[in-house]
Structure 1
Amino acid sequence: MKKALAILTVCFYTLTVAAQEKWDLRRCVEYALENNISIKQADIQARFDKLTHDQSVLAQYPSLSSQHSTGFQFGRSIDPTSNQFTNNQIFFANHSVDLGWDLFNWFRKRNTAESNKYLAQASEARLEKARNDIALNVANAYLAALLNKEQVNISKVQLSQSREQLELINKQVKAGALPELNLAEAETQYATDSSNLITAQTNYTLSLLQLKALLNLDAAMPFDIAEPPVDAIPVEPLSELDPEVVYQSALENLPQQKANELTLKALEKNAQAAKAAMYPSLMLFGGLNARYANAQKLLPQGLEVVNTPIGTVEVNGVAYTVTAPITQPTSYERNTYFRQLKNNFNQNIGIGVSIPIFNGGMARINWQKAKLNVENQSLQKEQETQTLKQDIYQAHTNAVAAIEKFNASRTAVQAAQKAYDYARKRFEVGLLQPIDLITTQNNLYRAKINMVSAQYDYVFKMKLLEFYKGKGLKLESDTSNF
């Protein structure tokens, strides 16, 4: 029981600390890079392609294999020691070592290895692209959460002002200075501002859920983000982000462009390997073999010539015995396992040529397909380069518009704030109707919301241009770069 209570206490303390600790952008990005599923999948693919390259490199070396078999022969079969037919049961064992080496195959294996090397490097570049995409998405979600948090703060201030106005109008209505209609209008405004606060809080919670999904965090985990002032977020001057300069930098730094170039090189090498398959190949082969069979259990030793009777011949009624010299062993020795392996040991070595004569046009068609793959990848690379340039110029145009919109909204907030201050003073001395004060207050609220939205939109669009330029992501005044 005590142990269970201790575990619960530790868990509660951990959750409490987690709930109190706020995540900054650096921590969010670093955690996403370690735990995001898309990045893990890209990493697995990169390691898989690296192994494929290693395998194709090793395929250029000679192949060496050893085979061993043992068993029984039944029925009519050939005695492996005498090559004669026999019906006896024979226990046999065969051992061999075989060597194969492609001497020349028109660099087919070499080009295949080169192709796989470029594909492995392309996978590494795609892994880096996945990391960049996740970092950019996390930064976007982080800024969206900051925006929603700022809207919550503005809504709280708006609600507090509405509460003060409601209390003031309520006192004036009770004193008979204002009609009850003004109180109803103030109550309506207070209810509207309460609803706006609830909506802002809901949007903030949803933005945190979206950010946790990118981080691969449990949706039920307590989570909150740090709130760096948006004014403190460093942004490069727009003059340093000329679209043509950004585009040239993106061509050199973005991993997607590197992946396209490496994939094109890989397909070119693959086409050369496919072409080599149409030509003859020269190979070296060799082998060592030995065998054993229990059919030959004894070996003759010490041969001698013996006259052996082979029949009789009758001459003048007298039978004479006919003999013939026959060579026979004087003794026998056991034909052991290792003795047979030694006596039956043989070697072979040679050179072979493989000439593709007709295979249904498969080799030539594969070569033509490989050339089409090169052409298609070249077009895809060109298309993505054009798309990249269009995206950068569009991002620059959007950034210019965002700056202008932010400056205009900031001017609108200053004007709305001044109008609200004048209206509140007039209302306090009885020179302005409550409905006019509420209208002025709503104008100020909308102006603040629009300015905050425009400011975060401007910051993100500038950060996007910096990202294309290869500057990484930086939302703090220190060295928090990604």
Structure 2
Amino acid sequence: MLLKKKTISQNKESRNVMKMKVTRHLFAVGTLLLAGCATYEDQPPAAVKSSVYTTLKAEEKHLLPKDITVLTLEEAQNIALKNNPSFRSKYYAITAARAGYYQKFAGYFPTVNASFKAGQDLGKMHDRQGWYNTNNFAFTPQVSGTLLIFDSFRREMDILAQKHNWQSTEAAEDDARRLLVEAVANAYNGVMLADAQMRIAQEDKKFNADMLRDTKLKFDAGAVSLSEVLNFEIQYNQAESNLITAQYNYTTNKYVLAQLLGLTEGTIPASVKFPTKPAEDVDILPDVSVYLDLALANRPDLKSLREQMEVSKYSYWSSLAAFGPTFSANYAIGYTDTHSHNCRSEVRGNPVFNHVHGATFSYSLNVNWNLFNGGNDFFAARAAQARMVQADYSVAQAWIQVIVDVRTAYDNYATAVKQMKLFQKTFELTKKTRDLVKAEYDAGSTEITRMNEAQRDLVNAESNYVSAVIRMANARAQLAAAANIR
């Protein structure tokens, strides 16, 4: 008997331990599920949560890949699409819209609500015959819910509206991609322009340094006056000033590019180089109508507004459902357990005990049709209809804007190509002229003012040529963005 009691006790302890383990596991799973709803894998860099910059570690930042020594435009655009915070946030707007779409399907399922009520009533009553005690204890668990059977197609219209809202959000992300790629191209070309301006200023500085050295030798020999020496010193200082300005522009343009790339350092490392200048290849342009067709078919901002127009249309139809009836069903499944203990002072013997328990089930079918509510549904439908027409006009405005964007970008690129070719010829002629004037100046057959003018013209011509190449590259990016060409 003792062994049997010991075995029973051990079995109870084992069951208790097992229950505790199961409870802990269920609690852990529930915690993980709740945590999963509040966290996400793709997060901004840890550096942005810090209030101190100097203590940041490399792993907390978004940096350029270490293997990049020469940053190309394509690499810069890919990095921006991966790191740019504004663009990355668009993905989660899509996630929210997709969740909202699936949420609308919940209206087709019954609700399930669990409730539990436990209570006790204690009383002591007095009358002429004596006193009377009552002690009642009851608990009632219950499961209840509602099923919406028909709501005049409001659910269907809301689902379709949310579906088009989801698609509109996807198009908005695509439009953000289009604009980001163009912005990176412009910033990248700005860095290359400043780099080219630095090179031009350095060449101008070197030329004037050589001329200053030669002129000093001539001055020492008594062949030229001091004013010519001072002239080239002034020209040298001007070239130095231009170089400082170009270096500043180079640095600030790298800041702009780094921001678009989502780099937490806010700049591009000095070890990373850029190509000397964009390719001078000229694209053969088809007729502008080709780009117009591409833009109208592919522009995501236009697609997003068209989807929003569908949202407003289904929202209007959803508002009309308020004029129809609604059918629903309710149900409840419960259990009642009541214990009563009553006794009177004049009654001798045992008190009266009573125990009542049993299951309950109830259901109901409900029909609701609002016939009048002061015109609330009518004016809500009129407002939804007005928003639908407003969305239609927004699409019309966007359609016209797309046409204007394409025509402007097309003409801008064609003009930039013409200017680039013209400035290229001017630069070649000016360089040839400068070399001839220098030879004449060295031979003593031309004045120093002509030498200054020829060198200044060369610097301006080369700057104009490089700027024209950059403008052509920006115009190419503008046309690609206007027609959404990838």
Match of 2:173 among 117, 121, 127: 127
For 1:167 and 1:297, locate their aligned partners in 2 and report how far apart those are by CA, in whole Å.
123
One-letter code of the match for 2:395? K
C-alpha distance 251-15 of structure 1, shift in aligned 2 (>3 A): closer
Name the count of aligned residue pairs: 416
Contact 1:236-1:466 within 8 A present in 2 as well: no
Partner of 2:481: 467
- Farther off after superposition, 446-455 or 397-406: 397-406
Partner of 2:120: 72
C-alpha distance 71-233 of structure 1, shift in aligned 2 (>3 A): farther
One-letter code of the match for 2:274? E
Q: Does 1:146 align with 2:192?
A: yes
Offset of residue 367 of structure 1: 1.3
Contact 1:286-1:350 within 8 A present in 2 as well: yes
Partner of 2:460: 446
Match of 2:425 among 375, 398, 411: 411
* Structure 2 unaligned residues grouped into runs of 5+: 1-54, 126-131, 344-351
Offset of residue 292 of structure 1: 2.1
Match of 1:196 among 225, 231, 242: 242
* Structure 1 unaligned residues grouped into runs of 5+: 1-6, 78-85, 299-331, 473-482
One-letter code of the match for 1:204? Y
C-alpha distance 243-71 of structure 1, shift in aligned 2 (>3 A): farther
Match of 2:89 among 11, 35, 41: 41
* Cα deviation digits, residues 132-168 of structure 1 (max 9, x gap): 2111111110011111111111111111111101111
Contact 1:420-1:441 within 8 A present in 2 as well: yes
One-letter code of the match for 1:287? A
Partner of 1:292: 337
Contact 1:119-1:266 within 8 A present in 2 as well: yes
Q: Does 1:435 align with 2:460?
A: no
RMSD over aligned Cα, in angstroms?
3.0
Match of 1:237 among 277, 284, 292: 284
One-letter code of the match for 2:482? Y
For 2:334 and 2:450, locate their aligned partners in 1 and report how far apart those are by CA, in whole Å.
106
Match of 1:207 among 211, 228, 253: 253
C-alpha distance 436-350 of structure 1, shift in aligned 2 (>3 A): same
Q: Does 1:258 align with 2:303?
A: yes
For 1:87 and 1:277, locate their aligned partners in 2 and report how far apart those are by CA, in whole Å.
55
Q: Does 1:381 align with 2:395?
A: yes
* Cα deviation digits, residues 254-295 of structure 1 (max 9, x gap): 211211111111111111111102221111222212222222
- Which structure 2 residues correspond to residues 1-400 of structure 1 after superposition, within 5 A? 18=66, 21-73=69-121, 88-219=134-265, 222-223=268-269, 226-228=273-275, 230=277, 232=279, 235-238=282-285, 240=286, 242-295=287-340, 335=355, 340-341=356-357, 343=358, 345-400=359-414
Percent identity over the alignment is 21
* Cα deviation digits, residues 46-74 of structure 1 (max 9, x gap): 21111111111122222222222223345
- Farther off after superposition, 412-421 or 92-101: 92-101
- What TM-score, normalized to structure 2? 0.79
- Farther off after superposition, 402-411 or 66-75: 66-75
Partner of 2:349: none
Contact 1:182-1:435 within 8 A present in 2 as well: no
* Cα deviation digits, residues 169-195 of structure 1 (max 9, x gap): 111111111110111111100000000
Offset of residue 426 of structure 1: 0.5
One-letter code of the match for 1:140? N
One-letter code of the match for 2:190? A
* Cα deviation digits, residues 216-252 of structure 1 (max 9, x gap): 21346552554335463655312x2x32211211111
Partner of 1:426: 440
For 2:429 and 2:165, locate their aligned partners in 1 and report how far apart those are by CA, in whole Å.
59
- Farther off after superposition, 191-200 or 122-131: 122-131
One-letter code of the match for 1:414? E
Aligned to 2:465, the other structure's residue is in SS state helix
Match of 2:416 among 381, 396, 402: 402
* Cα deviation digits, residues 91-147 of structure 1 (max 9, x gap): 321222223222211110111011111101111111111122111111110011111
C-alpha distance 235-64 of structure 1, shift in aligned 2 (>3 A): farther
Larger radius of gyration: 1
One-letter code of the match for 2:279? A
Offset of residue 18 of structure 1: 5.0
Contact 2:258-2:268 within 8 A present in 1 as well: no
Contact 2:138-2:336 within 8 A present in 1 as well: yes
Partner of 1:322: none
C-alpha distance 297-162 of structure 1, shift in aligned 2 (>3 A): farther
Aligned to 2:108, the other structure's residue is in SS state coil
C-alpha distance 75-262 of structure 1, shift in aligned 2 (>3 A): farther
For 1:212 and 1:297, locate their aligned partners in 2 and report how far apart those are by CA, in whole Å.
83
For 1:71 and 1:406, locate their aligned partners in 2 and report how far apart those are by CA, in whole Å.
90
One-letter code of the match for 2:291? V
Contact 2:319-2:380 within 8 A present in 1 as well: yes
Contact 1:125-1:258 within 8 A present in 2 as well: yes
For 2:450 and 2:88, locate their aligned partners in 1 and report how far apart those are by CA, in whole Å.
58
Aligned to 1:91, the other structure's residue is in SS state strand
C-alpha distance 348-295 of structure 1, shift in aligned 2 (>3 A): same
One-letter code of the match for 2:222? G
For 1:471 and 1:220, locate their aligned partners in 2 and report how far apart those are by CA, in whole Å.
29
For 2:172 and 2:183, locate their aligned partners in 1 and report how far apart those are by CA, in whole Å.
16
One-letter code of the match for 1:198? I
Aligned to 2:323, the other structure's residue is in SS state coil
For 1:243 and 1:393, locate their aligned partners in 2 and report how far apart those are by CA, in whole Å.
7
One-letter code of the match for 1:159? K
For 1:271 and 1:70, locate their aligned partners in 2 and report how far apart those are by CA, in whole Å.
47
For 2:411 and 2:312, locate their aligned partners in 1 and report how far apart those are by CA, in whole Å.
37
For 2:282 and 2:120, locate their aligned partners in 1 and report how far apart those are by CA, in whole Å.
83
- What TM-score, normalized to structure 1? 0.80
For 1:405 and 1:233, locate their aligned partners in 2 and report how far apart those are by CA, in whole Å.
12
C-alpha distance 249-17 of structure 1, shift in aligned 2 (>3 A): closer
Contact 2:147-2:330 within 8 A present in 1 as well: yes
Partner of 2:13: none
Aligned to 2:78, the other structure's residue is in SS state helix
